[in-house]
Each structure stands twice: as structure tokens, then as C-alpha cells.
């Protein structure tokens, strides 16, 4: 009987085994009997090989005209579009979220690649008048060199594209470490990039653990930029590791996002948004709607409808077209979520309205399935109010009025996404102004970002940089100001301009 496919690292345009000769299994979280693939358990030697390849390739890639780099990215986007169904099904097998969502994940990679391909003919700088005669002034972007990327498991093709495509269009080269739970999606993307003409060494992939692969990718002095998406605790360590060399460091981290439901809201619409925002991707999103701040006048009506809708969700294998929520990505993630369910049950005053455990029996025995769970009457001070759970759990928090709702929304260490449901345009604009997050929605849940707007958050969510849109170019480039003096004399700027 044929065993699972063995996947290798991708270094300098070739698929190569790790120098460790060790591997790990990629397991389907909906069916642990299904081994999706065997991947390399790499170490610092493999990282060094990849960085050597990227450093050497940078010498030529940075000199390729940006429009030509864009043409390669355009071909890559077309190819991902052609292979969309195949790579989406692979993603569901290794990550667990339902097929309609993995198609959306792949579509984000398509959109981002097309978008950044266009930046090959833009990436605009400035031209500006000089304060001196016969002098020309302009600014332009320059690449950083080798950029390393550590990507998460919840959006295993979208987020790598958010990082790789802006880096590449600017002339950088890349070494990426995919999450150990979802390496196949990145391998599929890298294979497409290679087959569509990306030169050897421009993109390299090394699989393995964060300690053995991630830290060498961060600390190496050849690296000009580190881009990371993951937990705030790990992000803090990465920031500290980058600081001695003053490397560009881009961090996209946690969230504890809220939906505010006012007394004039369309309750049915708000419930729709809460179900999708809380339980889409099994709640395994940094933008998940994990706090529902509801005006007391409509609290009972909203809670009753939400519980009814949540109990009706069909949970199972994401490849089943009738399933609405898949499993947790791994056993450890499932156990973490179950632990928070226990914490919620033990919190003083919090009420378990539905869920609260693991699905067992029959098809569920071979997967890591958690129940869609709602806690009611949650207040500040409770751990489930403040801490990111990253699973199928949401809280309902009562608010007396609009001002208290805003205060509750901002009472959080994170600042990624928030939303409000209201028919009052004045309230909508006030909330838009006063809730301190990087993303805000009106009459929509906290998920649903588009690639042509900047993505990122405030406070402990990030360090000020943004992904997607033209703002992503700031992460992977430096500005250079250029002055051309054609006066034929020495002009000393402000000294001669007093």
C-alpha cells in the first residue's frame, strides 16, 4: 500500500531533504487516520542553506525591472486561480476549515498576487521642487535584501501571500517557515511560484519547529526584515531578537474583537454576523468576534436567537458540503480551547448558554471537534473577557448604554477589529471614531477584510505596521531621497538659503 507523500524543503530552486534526515507528519484534524503528508524536520543548517541561496539570488533579483517582476507575479496569480479547487481541498484536509472558507483563503492569495503585480508599475515615490535653483529632488523605494517570514496555520495561503508578494515586487528575496500544522499549503504555493518562472533562490521554504527553524531565521545578520503572524508572546520574543541588529520587524499578533449590538439594531442581522464572526474558521481567527457587547434592552432577545442559531450549526469534516464548522486545527489547540471552556464555567457569574465541551462519538472520535460555545453575563475581570481563546467560544456582555459599550470595547489589551450594529448613523460614526482598533465595521462582523485596504491592529495586536494594500510596501522597503544638482556650483542648502 502506498504511503503518504514525502515533501521536501525548497532551497535554491530545488526540493531537498533536511540535513537532519528527520521528518514529521501533517495530520488531518477531522480524521487523524489521514496523514496528509510527511515534511522535513529541519534545523539551523537548512536555514543557513536557504539564507545562502536567498542572499545570492538577491544580487540579480533586485536588478530585474519591477514591471518584469510584476509580470511573473501576474502569471503566478493566474496559476493559483487555475489550481484553486485543488489547493483549497488540500488546505481543508490539513487545516480543517470548511471548503467554502479554504476557497476564500486561496482567493485572498489570488487577489493579493494580482494586486502586488500591479505595484510593479507603481510603487510611486515623490518628485518635489527644491529650495535651491537648478536642483532636482525625488524619493524612491529600495529593497531590504533577504526577508524571512514565519506564518500561521489559520490562513495558510492567504497570509504567506500577504507577506511574500509585496516583498518580491520590491526586489527582496524570501525564506519562509510555514506553520508545522499546515506546511502543505505553502508548499503548493511555492511550487506554483517555481513553475511559473520565479528564479531559483528568490523564494525558499524550510519546514520545522519554531525553535529549530524560526529563531535562526530571525537572528541571522543577513536578514533585513522579519515578518511574523502569531501569538503576542512569541511576537514579543521576535521583537527582542530583532532589536540588536535594528532589523525591520513586522508583527501581526492577537485579538479579542467585539461586536457592539445597540438597542436599535437589526437583531436578526446582528445574530447572523455574530454566528459567522464567532464560529467561522472554528473561531480560529485573530479577527474572530469573541466578545458580543449587547445593549440591555435587546440582550435577552439577541441571546436567545444566537443560542438557537448556534445549536443548529452542523460540525464535522470540512470537505462535507453540508458542514458549517470544522475541527480545531490540532489536539493541542483543542485542549487549549477546552481549558478555556472550563475556565468560563468556573468564572463567577458567567453563564454557559450552550456548548462547553468536545464532541464525542462516531465520526467525532477521530477528530479534534469542539462545540460552538456561548457564555452569557460576562463582565470585565473575567479571563474569558480579556484573553484570546482562538477557538469556538464567544461571550455576551451586557451594556447599559452606548457610552458603556464603547468603554467595554476599549477595555482590552488588543486592538485589531471591532464592529457595531445600529441604524443610527451618528452612533456609527462616533463608534468608528472612538473604538481604538485597526479595523472597524458597521453592520457587519469583525471578519471580512479586503486586500486593497491595510490590515493590522493597535496595542498588543501589532507593532504599527500593516499588511496588504500599498502600506505593506513600507514593511519591505526603505526610502531613499535623491538630490541632483545641475547648477554647476556648490549649493549648501539651508546655509545658502537664509
In sign, the C-alpha dihedral spanning 314, 320, 322, 324 is positive
Tell whether 1 is covered by a domain.
no
Q: Do 248 and 263 fall into the same domain?
A: no
Tell whether 490 is covered by a domain.
no
Bridge partner residues of 9 (DSSP)? 16
Please, which pLDDT band fits residue 1 given cuts at 50, 70 and 90? low
Bridge partner residues of 418 (DSSP)? 258, 440
User: Mean pLDDT over residues 43-48, rounded?
Assistant: 98
Tell whether 453 is covered by a domain.
no
Q: Do 223 and 266 fall into the same domain?
A: no
Catalytic residue among 119, 252, 347, 388: 252
Please, which pLDDT band fits residue 3 given cuts at 50, 70 and 90? confident
Q: Do 242 and 263 fall into the same domain?
A: no
Q: What is the pLDDT of residues 240-291, one digit of tens each?
A: 999 999 999 999 999 999 999 999 999 999 999 999 999 999 999 999 999 9
Residue 59 burial by CB count (10 A; 0-12/13-18/19+): exposed, middle or buried? exposed
Tell whether 492 is covered by a domain.
no
Please, what is the angle between helix 425-434 and helix 402-410, to 10°?
30
Bridge partner residues of 357 (DSSP)? none
- Residue 412: active-site member: no
Residue 275's CATH number: 3.40.309.10
- Residue 252: active-site member: yes
Q: Do 282 and 343 fall into the same domain?
A: yes
Q: Do 413 and 399 fall into the same domain?
A: yes
Q: Do 221 and 336 fall into the same domain?
A: no
Predicted TM-score (pTM) of the model is: 0.96
Q: Do 242 and 266 fall into the same domain?
A: no
Q: What is the pLDDT of residues 305-351, one digit of tens each?
A: 999 999 999 999 999 999 999 999 999 999 999 999 999 999 988 99
Tell whether 13 is covered by a domain.
yes
Q: Do 239 and 340 fall into the same domain?
A: no
Tell whether 32 is covered by a domain.
yes
Q: What is the pLDDT of residues 73-89, one digit of tens each?
A: 999 999 999 999 999 99
Tell whether 312 is covered by a domain.
yes
* Ramachandran quadrant class, 286 (left: phi over 0; alpha: psi -120 to 50; beta: rest): alpha
Tell whether 488 is covered by a domain.
no
Q: Do 68 and 86 fall into the same domain?
A: yes
Residue 47's CATH number: 3.40.605.10
Q: Do 179 and 270 fall into the same domain?
A: no
How many CB atoms neighbour CB 483 within 10 A? 12
Taking 70 as the threshold, does the pLDDT of residue 385 lie above it? yes
Question: Average pLDDT, whole number, for the chain?
Answer: 97
Q: Do 375 and 469 fall into the same domain?
A: no
Catalytic residue among 249, 258, 286, 412: 286
Q: What is the pLDDT of residues 191-231, one digit of tens each?
A: 999 999 999 999 999 999 999 999 999 999 999 999 999 99
Q: Do 46 and 157 fall into the same domain?
A: yes
Whole domain around residue 330: which residue ranges?
257-442
CA distance 154 to 185: 11
Specify the number of domains making up the chain: 2
Amino acid at each position: 500500500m502506498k504511503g503518504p507523500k514525502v515533501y521536501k524543503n525548497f532551497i535554491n530552486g530545488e526540493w531537498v531533504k533536511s540535513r537532519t534526515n528527520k521528518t514529521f507528519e501533517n495530520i488531518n484534524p477531522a480524521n487523524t487516520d489521514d496523514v496528509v503528508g510527511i515534511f522535513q524536520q529541519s534545523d539551523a543548517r537548512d536555514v543557513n542553506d536557504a539564507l545562502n541561496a536567498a542572499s545570492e539570488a538577491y544580487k540579480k533579483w533586485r536588478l530585474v525591472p519591477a514591471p518584469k517582476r510584476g509580470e511573473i507575479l501576474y502569471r503566478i496569480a493566474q496559476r493559483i486561480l487555475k489550481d484553486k479547487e485543488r489547493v483549497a481541498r488540500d488546505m481543508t484536509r490539513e487545516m480543517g476549515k470548511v471548503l467554502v472558507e479554504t476557497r476564500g483563503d486561496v482567493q485572498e492569495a489570488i487577489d493579493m498576487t494580482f494586486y502586488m503585480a500591479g505595484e510593479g508599475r507603481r510603487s510611486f515615490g515623490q518628485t518635489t521642487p527644491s529650495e535651491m535653483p537648478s536642483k532636482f529632488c525625488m524619493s524612491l523605494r529600495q529593497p531590504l535584501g533577504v526577508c524571512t517570514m514565519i506564518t500561521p496555520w489559520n490562513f495558510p495561503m492567504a497570509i504567506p501571500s500577504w507577506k511574500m508578494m509585496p516583498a518580491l515586487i520590491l526586489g527582496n528575496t524570501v525564506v519562509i517557515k510555514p506553520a508545522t500544522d499546515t506546511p502543505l499549503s505553502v508548499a503548493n504555493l511555492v511550487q506554483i511560484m517555481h513553475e511559473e518562472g520565479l528564479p531559483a533562490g528568490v523564494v525558499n521554504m524550510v519546514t520545522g519547529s519554531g525553535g529549530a527553524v524560526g529563531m535562526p531565521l530571525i537572528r541571522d545578520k543577513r536578514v533585513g526584515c522579519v515578518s511574523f503572524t502569531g501569538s503576542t508572546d512569541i511576537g514579543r520574543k521576535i521583537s527582542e531578537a530583532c532589536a540588536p541588529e535594528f532589523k525591520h520587524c513586522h508583527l501581526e499578533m492577537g485579538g479579542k474583537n467585539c461586536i457592539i449590538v445597540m438597542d436599535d439594531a437589526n437583531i436578526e442581522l446582528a445574530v447572523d454576523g455574530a454566528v459567522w464572526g464567532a464560529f467561522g474558521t472554528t473561531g480560529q481567527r485573530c479577527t474572530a468576534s469573541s466578545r458580543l457587547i449587547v445593549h440591555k434592552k435587546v440582550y435577552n432577545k439577541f441571546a436567545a436567537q444566537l443560542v438557537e442559531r448556534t445549536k443548529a450549526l452542523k460540525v464535522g469534516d470540512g470537505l462535507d458540503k453540508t458542514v458549517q464548522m470544522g475541527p480545531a486545527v490540532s489536539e493541542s489547540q483543542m485542549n487549549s480551547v477546552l481549558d478555556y471552556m472550563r475556565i468560563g464555567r468556573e468564572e463567577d457569574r458567567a453563564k454557559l448558554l450552550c456548548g462547553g465541551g468536545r464532541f464525542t462519538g462516531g465520526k467525532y472520535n477521530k477528530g479534534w471537534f469542539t462545540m460552538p460555545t456561548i457564555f452569557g453575563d460576562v463582565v470585565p475581570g473575567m479571563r474569558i473577557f480579556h484573553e484570546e481563546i482562538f477557538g469556538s467560544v464567544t461571550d455576551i456582555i451586557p451594556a447599559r448604554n452606548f457610552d458603556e459599550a464603547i468603554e467595554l470595547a476599549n477595555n482590552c489589551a488588543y486592538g485589531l477589529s471591532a464592529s457595531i450594529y445600529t441604524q443610527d448613523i451618528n452612533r456609527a460614526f462616533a463608534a468608528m471614531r472612538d473604538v481604538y482598533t485597526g479595523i472597524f465595521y458597521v453592520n457587519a462582523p469583525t471578519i471580512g477584510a479586503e486586500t486593497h485596504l491595510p490590515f493590522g491592529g493597535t496595542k498588543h495586536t501589532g507593532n504599527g505596521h500593516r499588511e496588504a494594500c500599498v502600506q505593506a510596501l513600507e514593511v519591505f522597503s526603505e526610502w531613499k531621497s535623491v538630490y541632483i544638482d545641475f547648477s554647476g556650483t556648490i549649493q549648501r542648502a539651508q546655509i545658502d538659503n537664509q
